Chain A
Amino acid sequence: MMVNDKSIVWILKIYLLIIFVFIFMPIITSVVFSFNSDRFPSLPLGHFTWNWYDKVYYDSETWDAIRTSIIVALSASVLATIIGFCTAYTDFRYSFRFKNAYLALALLPPTIPLIILALAMLAWFSKLGISGQIWALIIAHTVLGAPFAMAIIRLRLQQMDKDLESAAWNLGASEWATMRHVIIPFALPSIISALCLTMAVSFDEFAIAWFVSGLNKSVPVVILEILQGNVDPQINAIGSFVFATTMTLVVIAQLFLFTKKPNNH
């Protein structure tokens, strides 16, 4: 057995707790401040208010942004999940020349800083003539989301018995039928999970959105613009709303991610 100094373990656990407090402090304070009456929050807190939520609720610009965000998040998540599924399945089943290059191409986007992608996409979309259109945003967020979708679905396929597919072929099923009746049902939890996560990614992204969205501002872009103005607790209200939305998506995603293998018969 390892020598376990109780006191050291306790110090480590307290340290861990402090780290978690540091990480969650800004999230918790933003929710608290969203109900606080002071324009510039300080201690002691002012009184409870729905004021900031009201302001956001009656602001048509926010509603436009929410609509844009939802359209973009839904479309981008579907596209990213389709692309991610195709890539994950290819990686799962095939080996071929240049596979490493293929996977690098698929997985590289998260390693490029968003500000660089933002400039590159702004320039490229301007050249294609779609900059400022909602399409630009959907395309960009699909690029960002696809690697996440691919990773999640790949993890799920990893749990599948490779013989399952060949067994289906031996029983006379075509590749397409096998895909439909064996692989997609097996991967379904991860597909739903990927949909939610890529939606969350899209819902939160602000750098590229700020550059390419033009007048179709998404919610994070509105937050960024408020941030550039004065200190305004509306940010906390919008932020708490966005937080609630993405958290719901992430929790759903994780629930599906950790479901056990379905009992096939």
Chain B
Amino acid sequence: MIFSNWLRRIDGYALTWRLPVIIWQVLFFLAPLVFMIAMSFFLVKNYQMKEAFEFVNWVKIFSKGYFWSSYGLSFGLAFLATITATCIAFPASYCLAFKLSETARRWAIFFLIIPFFTSYLVRTFSWYVLLAESGVINNIIGYLGIGPIKMLNTMFGTMIGYLTLTLPLVIILQTLSMASIDKNLIEASHNLGAGRVRAIFSVIIPSARIGLIIGALFCFILSFGDFVSPYYLGGSNPPTLPILIIDTTKSGQQWPRAAVIATIMMVTLMLVALSAIKIAYKKR
């Protein structure tokens, strides 16, 4: 009976639902990534890519000083964005999770989802116009007798862009994890004489740890892989890794070298993600 049931599931019904995603993702998600890693060992001769297994591209990239400065910059910027976004988001998420009604919180999250679906390019362009030397913000502070302050083509510009990209998501993830904390736990800590700050550090942050770290991780992934902000707001000097990938692919015909950079980025992100998950789920 069980066996025949199993047999019936095997042919047809179960497979109909199970297979599509496997086939699609293997063909069009895994295969491209695997092929890209393989491509990092290909050769380029006379502007033609030749399939091969050589370490030339890896050696080339690793020996280039500009690659390492780009790597350091990208990692540093993404890390800075992660810390900044996490800290800036926390009070906002705290307020959303504990100080607002259920209805208000739902509306807030609805509004936080909106930016996710508005063109990031257009938002970046808006910041470009706002932050420019003769732009709106410098206009305003000019009336107050300050400025103009150079904000475009600085690290500040890049950070504004990264935060525009990541802040809504970080706040959503933090809020959801904090809203699910048992309120009795917090009340108990107050009854035991813990003040507001103490309660935040010894009850709320540990309980919401997973959400906080996952939020930070997504912030890192998004910032590390973004080319729009460091290019248009940060001035790309020196370029970050994503910009390097674009330059190498689009102008140089050097796809294998771009593949080396992309592979290194992927490995970096994997290591970051694994350590983040380890921290998130380790026993207290």
Residues of A at the B interface (CB closer than 8 Å) are 1-3, 5, 8-9, 12-13, 15-16, 19-20, 22-27, 29-30, 33, 40-43, 82-84, 86-87, 89-90, 93-94, 102, 105-106, 108-109, 111-117, 119-125, 127, 139-140, 142-143, 146, 150, 175-176, 200-201, 204, 206-207, 211, 220, 223-224, 227, 231, 235-236, 238-239, 242-243, 246-247, 249-250, 254
Which residues of B, 88-132, contact A by the 8 Å Cβ criterion? 88-89, 91-92, 94-96, 99, 108, 110-115, 117-130, 132
Q: Find chain A residues with CB under 8 A from B77 CB.
A: none
Check B36 against A123 for contact (C-beta < 8 Å).
yes
Contact size range, B: 35 or more
Answer whether residue B63 sits at the interface, using C-beta atoms and an 8 A cutoff: no
Answer whether residue B282 sits at the interface, using C-beta atoms and an 8 A cutoff: no
| Complex CA distance for A149 and B88, rounded to whole angstroms | 30
Residues of B at the A interface (CB closer than 8 Å) are 13-14, 16-22, 24-26, 28-33, 35-36, 39, 88-89, 91-92, 94-96, 99, 108, 110-115, 117-130, 132, 134-136, 139-140, 163-164, 167-168, 171, 186-187, 190, 196, 221-222, 224-227, 232, 242, 245-246, 249, 255, 258-259, 262, 265-266, 269, 273
Q: Which of B17, B20, B190, B269 contacts A113 (CB 8 A)?
A: B269
| Complex CA distance for A143 and B25, rounded to whole angstroms | 7
Check A16 against B17 for contact (C-beta < 8 Å).
no
How close is B209's CB to chain A, nearest CB, in angstroms?
Answer: 20
9 tightest CB-CB pairs across the interface, nearest first? A113-B225, A239-B122, A26-B126, A124-B32, A120-B32, A120-B36, A26-B123, A12-B95, A43-B139
Q: Which of A90, A201, A211, A227 contacts B249 (CB 8 A)?
A: A211
Check A94 against B249 for contact (C-beta < 8 Å).
no
Check A243 against B29 for contact (C-beta < 8 Å).
no
